[in-house]
Amino acid sequence: DDEGANLIPQVPLFDVLERYNGTKYTDVLKSGYQQRKRYSLTRLPQFIIFHLSRFTKNNFYMEKNPTIVTFPVKNLEMRDYINLTGTGETGFPTEEEVGEMSVKELREILTRQKVNFADCVEKSHLVDKVKDEILETFVTKYDLLANICHDSPPGQKKEGSVSPLEAGSYRVHVQNKATEQWYEIQDLHVQETMPQLVGLSESYMLIYERQKSAKEQAAESAAALHTELYNS
């Protein structure tokens, strides 16, 4: 800036995830050959771990990319990054598109999402299964569980002889789910922090958990009620 201070660039996590939208090509070098590839997610697991590659090693030193990757603490929407059909198209098909799919395509979708369709005899049964088990109940939003940060030593220059991995320190942000309070932990030091600060930290690894569906929430409530009645 005008005062000569170093400005740290910021980029949203969604910009980083564009690589996995099924349409953007990435140049990769494999077995000595240059290739172009597209990436997409075939299913959404219960947990997603994002590893932000910050360190680049060359012949002289280990260089760290200080870019701040901003991210949501709640409601990370992954709907646009999942490839249900295996065709390279990301996002969810409409009910009309599901009805026009072949039996093979319907079975592939259910298999990818690990949905049991042994009781489906007719194509209409498969269509209903996809609509009921995926389109209507499939959860695509995630909440942050933990955030691991790496801090370089103050005044560390990229030309320095000390590796930032060896000289730096790590912090972790975790949330108490019962109170929804966030904490910052570094060694034995624990202090409260705000979610707004968590989402603007120099993250190295992000751990997200998929939100529970209405069916899962109902099952948990029923189990908790059963336990309460049993203990009383």
pLDDT score of 219: 72
Computed over its alpha carbons, how large is the radius of gyration of the chain? 23
* Amino acid 74: pLDDT: 94
Q: Characterise 34 by phi-psi region: left (phi > 0), alpha (psi -120 to 50), beta (else).
A: beta
Please state, for a pLDDT cut of 90, what percent of the chain lies above it. Answer: 25
Instruction: Decide: pTM greater than 0.95.
Output: no
Domains in the chain: boundaries: 45-76+144-223, 95-135
Which pLDDT score, from 0 to 100, does residue 159 have? Answer: 45
In angstroms, the CA 191 to CA 216 distance is 33
pLDDT on residue 179:
92
Weakly modelled stretches of the chain, pLDDT under 70: 1-6, 85-90, 153-167, 220, 224, 226, 228, 232
- What is the CATH T-level fold of the domain 45-76+144-223, as seen in this structure? Cathepsin B; Chain A (3.90.70)
Confidence at residue 160, expressed as pLDDT on a 0 to 100 scale: 47
CA 95, CA 170: separation in Å to the nearest integer? 47
Q: What is the pLDDT of residue 232?
A: 67
- Residue 190 has a pLDDT of 94
